[in-house]
Structure 1
């Protein structure tokens, strides 16, 4: 008579191919290692896939914000210039806020203080290069603050470029319409500017601030040692 399993042993054993007893239920080792390693690899792959998807979503969001702000600035600049041409042509400056701001229509062929007035086409070329760089950057952008900054610069650059291309006296040498003068009319205290100029200045100032605080366009931030900090992983991804 053969003896059955000893009561209280807690686990039945089965004979293996060589006749040795092995515990039932233990996962057999695979050709490349224990079965548990496959599960770990699959988990790592899922985390990487989640990170890639999250990165693509962040890039789309940043690009959408950049283009949205750029188009909004362009539209506002176009509307204000159109209204200025309709309401201020041939009129004396309009005083606002007790003389803090004056609305006085001017046309500028150069930059601030009419710098480079005889080389308008150079500003058009520089603006086109800046716009191209911003659009190229938008494809890799993952930072919302940088999207806001570059969106302001893009809208301002496009607003003034439209003037230089389509306004008199000709293609790519057109004069930019300005209408806002502070403290004194006709830019006596400060150059006359427009909405596009304001957006450009705000965008550049924000970009300088982001650089000084270590914020990168890929969404990372420089540490005190000058190295980029590793991207954070959410609990769902971990």
Structure 2
């Protein structure tokens, strides 16, 4: 009887020890643009547009304070009406440039905002210069800009992306650089650690976004797809 009781105590103590020594894990979010399709281009005469994609991941802690941001970009690319461009590196075909993913660690009990904007380019030289600057800070973790820290209203995906580029040291405000005619569409998705712990199916999010509109009597219609994958890593 004494042996049985001792065995129970030992097993209980071992379980407590293993629980205490369990290696904590964090979630790392990865944003990967997947494809863009021009159902109807804005330029009626040429039946083609020059487009640029900018995207970011922004992390918030348990107190809803922004803690880190990473940015990425793709383009400038020509796209014709009816054409679909695959953006995943593994799905790259001849003549297509893949969009490199960005990744960011989610704070404990925090959340991450994934934001994507699709831009129609008018000035190719200026757009290429902007993209060159974005590539220099691609996936570099930066401290969030003041706009994220002091914002009292709900921010648009464009403002999230612009704030990320500003935080990375690019001397320009993307939101100010663009006018409403340049923005074909914007999309974002929020991921909370609490939701990931409840439902493992939410660790992969596929986002199909549809951007339709009209500019100076010229209509446009685009489909953009991107993925957000959540991975677990051991915290050292």
**TM over 0.5, yes or no?**
no
Return the structure number with greater helix share: 1
Q: Which structure is richer in relative contact order (CA contacts within 8 A, separation 6 or more)?
A: 2
TM-score by length of 1: 0.29
TM-score by length of 2: 0.29
Larger Rg: 1
